[in-house]
Amino acid sequence: MTNTFDFTLHSTDGEARLGTVHTRHGDIRTPAFMPVGTVGTVKGLYLDQVEATGADIILGNTYHLMLRPGAEEVDKLGGLHHFIGWKRPILTDSGGFQIMSLSKIRKITEQGAVFQSHIDGKRHELTPERAMDIQRLLGSDIQMQLDQCIEFPHTDQQAEKAMQLSLRWAERSRKAFGSQPGRGNFGIVQGGINPKLRQESAEGLTSIGFEGYAIGGLAVGEGHALMLQAIEHTVPHLPPDKPRYLMGVGTP
């Protein structure tokens, strides 16, 4: 365990990389497949069974944990690791994908997203600052910026608008993350399947400066071939010395 968040690059083969992410809850060997534990549990498995698969990290869902049991409640109980009994690293998303999937019951503004709970219909506002505060209370090792993910198909104009908003939210997310030794804050590249928008997003996030960078906005209906093209247009513009996270891809 360490009080610094760091990445060691061991070897490369073209754009493929072998490395280790160092966090306060242990190391993550990369490339890694990350089981999804939406509310802190991986469906169909006990956590010791998840460990037995060799998984170094699991994912928790900020949106669902915010609604139930609540980030403040989890914090009172010692954080998400203690709450669920998982001693290895945890990544939490920011709620950006849920903002997209809840399109019928949400409204997006410059400030953030306002939506109704799918549980009880209550109104909630998720801003970049609130998303980071929730993840801080959960105590996750990797915390994602709030972004706007859009569905496919979309126009280049729609992709650019969402990408620019995500960049502005990235600046606010980074500021709100503050100083959390041993934890990392990841920016999320958007831009649809447009190469120029992907490059602009990646370079903008790099100028802000994050512990790691995610490729977002894919696996939303564009198909495998276009997804691979978008990845190829993104990777060359990411810092070579930082970890990368391909979001939402359900097959290793």
Name the pLDDT band for 101 (thresholds 50, 70, 90). confident
Cβ-Cβ contacts under 8 Å for 47 (sequence gap 6 or more): 41, 84, 85, 86
Does residue 58 surpass a pLDDT of 80? yes
161: left (phi over 0), alpha (psi -120 to 50) or beta: alpha
Contact 47, 106 (CB under 8 A): no
Which pLDDT score, from 0 to 100, does residue 228 have?
A: 96
Instruction: Determine the Cα–Cα distance for residues 221 and 215; give it in Å rounded to an integer.
Output: 15
Q: Is 39 exposed, middle or buried (0-12, 13-18, 19+ CB in 10 A)?
A: middle
Of 169, 78, 180, 91, nearest to 130 by C-alpha is 169
- The share of the chain scoring above pLDDT 90, in percent, equals 85
> Tell me: the pLDDT tens digits for 156-176?
999 999 999 999 999 999 999
> Tell me: the pLDDT tens digits for 216-249?
999 999 999 999 999 999 999 999 999 999 998 8
> What is the amino acid identity at position 208?
I
Which pLDDT score, from 0 to 100, does residue 87 have?
A: 96
CATH topology of domain 6-246: TIM Barrel (3.20.20)
